[in-house]
Amino acid sequence: MANFYITTPIYYVNGAPHIGHAYTTIVADVFARHYRQRGDDVFFLTGTDEHGLKIQRAAEDRGIEPQELVDENSAKFRDLFEKLELSHDRFIRTTDADHKETVLEMIRRMKESGDIYLDTYEGWYSASDEAYYAEDEIEDGKAVATGSEVEWVEEASYFFKLSKYQDQLIEWYDSDTVPVRPKARRNEVRAFVDGGLKDLSISRTTFDWGIPFPDDPEHVLYVWVDALTNYLSGVGGFDEAGETGGFWPCDVHLIGKDILRFHAVYWPAFLLSAGVDLPKQVFAHGWWTVEGEKMSKSKGNWIDAFELADEYPLDLLRYFMVREIPLGSDGNFVQERIVERNNSELADNLGNLVNRTTKMVQSFIDGEVPAYTETQNEHDVALRKAADVILATVRDAMNKREPHNALDAIMSFAKDLNQYIQTTQPWKYNKEGDIERVQHILYHALEGIRWVAVLASAFVPDAAQKILGALQLTSDDDLQLASLKWGGLPAGNTVETPDVLFDKIDLEAIAKEEEQTKMVEKKQKKSKGKKGDSEKTGLVEFGDFMNIELRVGRIESAEKVEGADKLLKLSADVGEDNNRTIVAGLAKSWDPSDLEGKQVAMVTNLKPAKLFGIKSEAMVLAAETDEGKLELAFFSENVKPGTRIS
């Protein structure tokens, strides 16, 4: 039995999952399911990337500990993948203990190879990309490749001798298997490496959310060394003999085109240094735009992955994402295209084929699968030949990482089957009483449907399961490609008509519904402000307002919170025996000494929260200017600390 190991990138947990995260993981799931159907021993790994400056800053912005942030957001990805019914074998987190072990072993090996040395890094860094950039990769304070802001970094750092591996990398790119795909991406990365490699800074000292550098805990390991190693730790890391287990080397690292350099330059170089086999393939897919535009929250076209999963049936989502673009190309996510593919390809072609065939079986031959006869009728022979070609085409397309071609072949076979029924006209023979010919035709049609369902099950698993269920084929073996020998559908099975496989989507009806919702919203807006309508209008009762205790607090002292860029620790007099401690996100807007002695508005009856290990016992009120400065509500000395604001 062959092994097949496929990975997705592990996702940053600074925000919620979106369509891009759903895409990579769905495509990987399609491959995992297909290879399981080949009878391979498959391992499908996905998970979350939880360390680094970007995550630490996101936690600071929220005023919470990084661990709390990563627990909360990693769970969102895990929930999403469950909702999408993905079949991963492990959901790895870089905060998992076994992962850390593997990372430390990688570093130990890289050191042992003499590839790590201490020096000073001076240059640009983008926290958003967690990437270092050379001067010529920067324009107007931003990385040209990604548009992300960069900051100047000057600090002691461990370096990895990336330059040492230039020739070996080129040799790898040039090997016959073309391990970096698509070929255009291989050429791109090869040209980059050919242009010369600089050694890579692999540690930082100015923040601490990460794996401490072995023997020098002042340094935290560069997040990409940590993250990339998940691919090894996900399948057991190193065993006692220092060997990587049965699933390594990985068959496919499926990634987005933006993270090619990390996967096709850094990762293989780390592996070469650590004496570990290189992955068999790194495949970079394209990016989705939404209605023709780059997705962004500010443009309002950001597609939350949970909403996506609620809006479309899972099979349709998978079908559209795989069928719409070749793997490697960019795609445009447009509702009309999804609806068109649903209505004409899934509903009219596949849905209709299954529906009409099963109904004819029920009404012409008592709903029972007839026995198979190797007929010599030209249409029957042609259909059997077509089936074999499709099976070979699907396998070949998946080998070449062209799932859209595999799906296209399957759907065109469904079309052939519709055409076969149209041409052979079983209803005519039924009328004439030639039941034998009816049986031959309907057997061929049913068997063809079985082939379609088995082949399509990696792509549209729900529909495939319904179809096979309607033919009483419910065991794991029934899903195997090995079951595809013509005539394999057992005689005597009862044939049912499955529930509607694909509901047609009526775009006009959706538009009308949206119009109506808009009208209701308009009406609600109009009625805003009317008395007694507080629930609808969002107004609150006076009593509710009084439940919030607002007081004047005098800031007695202020200091920076160590390790947090944005936080200040304040001690404030709010008219009680003891001062209250407050952790406030004011460090970017205020010098601590300018706050001392000031009287400001604060909420004094919030439940205390712990930030960076400090218990915060009140909240300072602030308003943000267009430039992002936080202005405070000040009170003069005439007001005593602790006075209630009402």
Closest to ligand MSP by CB, 73 or 579: 73
Question: Considering the rule CB under 6 A, would residue 327 count as an interface residue with ligand MSP?
Answer: no
Q: Which one of 30, 228, 552, 568 is in contact with ligand MSP (CB under 6 A)?
A: 228
Report the SS3 class of residue 530. coil
Binders of ligand MSP among residues 561 to 580 (CB under 6 A) are none
- Does residue number 317 form part of the binding site for ligand MSP (CB under 6 A)? no
305 contacts ligand MSP (rule: CB under 6 A)? no
How big is the chain by its Cα radius of gyration, in Å?
31
20 scored as a contact of ligand MSP (CB under 6 A): yes
Alpha carbons 578 and 615: distance in angstroms, whole number: 15
Please state the closest distance from residue 580 (CB atom) to ligand MSP, in A: 39
Task: Work out how close the CB of 126 gets to ligand MSP at its nearest, in angstroms, rounded to a whole number.
Answer: 12
Minimum CB distance to ligand MSP, residue 203 (Å): 18
Alpha carbon distance 189, 267 (integer Å): 13
Closest to ligand MSP by CB, 260 vs 442, is: 260
Does position 260 interact with ligand MSP (CB under 6 A)? The reply is: no
Could you give the CA distance from residue 331 to residue 314 in angstroms, rounded to a whole number?
18
Per CB under 6 A, 95 contacts ligand MSP: no
Please state the φ and ψ torsions of residue 446, each to the nearest 5 degrees: -65, -40
The distance of Cα 403 from the centroid of its chain, to the nearest Å, equals 18
Q: Is-contact 201 121, C-beta < 8 A?
A: yes
Contact region for ligand MSP (CB under 6 A) — 3-11, 113-121, 155-163, 499-507? 3-11
Site for ligand MSP contains 188 (CB under 6 A): no
Nearer to ligand MSP, 255 or 632 (CB): 255
Site for ligand MSP in 384-443 (CB under 6 A): none
Residue in this structure with the two tokens 């460090």, named with its chain if needed: 587
Residues in 48-77 at the binding interface with ligand MSP, rule: CB under 6 A? 49
The single residue among 21, 33, 36, 54 that binds ligand MSP, judged by CB under 6 A, is 21
Nearer to ligand MSP, 12 or 158 (CB): 12
Percent helix, strand, coil in the chain (nearest 5)?
45, 20, 35
Find the binder of ligand MSP among 11, 165, 207, 413 (CB under 6 A): 11
d(CA 579, CA 555): 9
> CB atoms < 10 A from the CB of 486, how many?
18
Shorter beta-carbon distance to ligand MSP: residue 102 or 589: 102
Structure tokens at 286: 């394209």
Residue 389's H or E segment, with its range, is helix 378-399
| Subset of 500-519 contacting ligand MSP (CB under 6 A) | none
The count of residues in the chain is 646
Sheet holding 252-256, edge to edge: 90-93, 41-49, 3-12, 252-256, 282-285, 180-181
Three-class DSSP labels, 300-321: CCCCEHHHHHHHCCHHHHHHHH
Near ligand MSP in 535-554, by CB under 6 A: none
In three-state secondary structure terms, 182 is coil
Min dist CB 349 to ligand MSP, Å, is: 27
Query: What gap in Å lies between CA 119 and CA 357, rounded to an integer?
Result: 72
Rule CB under 6 A: choose which of 28, 150, 255, 369 binds ligand MSP: 255
CB of 65 to ligand MSP, least distance (A): 20
The single residue among 165, 288, 319, 364 that binds ligand MSP, judged by CB under 6 A, is 288
**Taking a C-beta distance cutoff of 8 angstroms, is the pair 62, 69 a contact?**
yes
Size of the residue set binding ligand MSP (CB under 6 A): 19
Residue 255 CB, shortest distance to ligand MSP, in Å, is 5
| Nearest CA among 290, 300, 351 for reference residue 324 | 290
By the rule CB under 6 A, 258 interacts with ligand MSP: yes
Q: How far is the CB of 171 from ligand MSP (least distance, A)?
A: 23
CB of 300 to ligand MSP, least distance (A): 15
Q: Taking CB under 6 A as the rule, does residue 354 contact ligand MSP?
A: no
CA distance 38 to 1: 9
23 near ligand MSP, rule: CB under 6 A: yes
Look at residues 469, 458, 462, 451 and name the one whose alpha carbon lies nearest to residue 501.
462
Summarize as ranges the residues that interact with ligand MSP (CB under 6 A).
9-12, 20-21, 23-24, 49, 227-228, 230, 255-256, 258-259, 287-288, 295
